[in-house]
C-alpha cells in the first residue's frame, strides 16, 4: 500500500466524521423543533433550496474524497472547485431569501398588517445561508488538504 492510498481513505474518513457531526447536530436541532419552525415560517423556501444544495454538495465532496489517489489527484483537484464555488452561492441564496422576506415585510407593513412572519423568512434564510457556507467551506478545506497530501512529492 503506497502512502498516497492511505491519505485517500483518511480524507474520506475525515469527511465522513465531519458529516456524522453535522447529522448529530441536525438530530438535536430536530428534537428541539428548530427545522420545523424554520420550515413553517420560511415562505420563500430558500432555506429548503440551501438545504438540498448542501446535502448534494456534501455527497459530491465525499465522492471526490473517496476517489482521491495519487493517480487521479488532478481530476479530483479540478472537481473539488465545486465546493468553493457553491460555498459562495449559499451566501447569495441566503441573501436572496433575505431580500424576499424583507420585501414581504414592507408589503405587510404598508397594508397595516403587523405580522412578523416575513421578517422570520429573512432572518432564517440569512442564517441558513451563512451556516451552509461555513459547513461547506469546512468540507472543501478537508478535501483540499487531502489533495495536498495525495500529490506526489
- pLDDT at res. 148: 86
> Among all chains, which residue has been given the C-alpha cell 451566501?
91
pLDDT digits (tens, 9 = 90+) for 41-92: 888 888 889 999 999 999 999 999 888 866 677 778 888 888 889 999 999 9
State the average pLDDT for the chain. Answer: 86
- Please, are residues 51 and 128 in contact by the beta-carbon 8 Å criterion? yes
111: which DSSP letter? T
Burial of 78 (0-12, 13-18, 19+ CB in 10 A): exposed
The residue that leads in pLDDT, 110 or 17, is: 17
Cα-based distances in Å from 24 to 19, 60, 115, 130, 143: 9, 20, 33, 19, 21
12-36: pLDDT as tens digits: 999 999 999 999 999 999 999 998 9
Alpha-carbon distances of 149 from 24, 43, 69, 145, rounded to whole Å: 28, 44, 10, 6
Segment 113-132 shows an average pLDDT of: 85
Confidence class for position 1, pLDDT limits 50, 70, 90 = very low
Instruction: Look up residue 96 and give its three cell numbers.
Output: 436572496
d(CA 11, CA 54): 19
What is the predicted pLDDT for the residue at 6? 47
Query: Residue 8: what pLDDT?
Result: 52
Which pLDDT does position 133 carry in this prediction?
95
Amino acid at each position: 500500500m503506497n502512502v498516497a492510498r492511505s491519505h485517500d481513505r483518511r480524507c474520506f474518513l475525515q469527511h465522513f466524521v465531519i458529516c456524522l457531526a453535522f447529522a448529530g447536530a441536525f438530530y438535536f436541532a430536530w428534537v428541539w423543533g428548530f427545522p420545523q419552525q424554520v420550515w413553517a415560517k420560511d415562505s420563500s423556501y430558500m432555506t429548503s433550496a440551501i438545504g438540498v444544495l448542501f446535502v448534494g454538495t456534501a455527497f459530491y465532496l465525499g465522492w471526490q474524497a473517496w476517489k482521491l489517489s495519487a493517480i487521479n489527484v488532478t481530476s479530483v483537484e479540478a472537481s473539488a472547485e465545486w465546493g468553493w464555488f457553491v460555498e459562495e452561492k449559499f451566501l447569495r441564496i441566503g441573501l436572496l431569501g433575505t431580500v424576499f422576506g424583507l420585501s414581504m415585510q414592507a408589503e405587510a407593513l404598508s397594508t397595516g398588517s403587523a405580522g412578523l412572519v416575513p421578517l422570520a423568512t429573512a432572518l432564517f434564510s440569512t442564517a441558513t445561508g451563512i451556516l451552509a457556507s461555513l459547513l461547506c467551506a469546512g468540507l472543501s478545506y478537508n478535501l483540499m488538504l487531502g489533495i495536498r497530501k495525495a500529490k506526489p512529492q
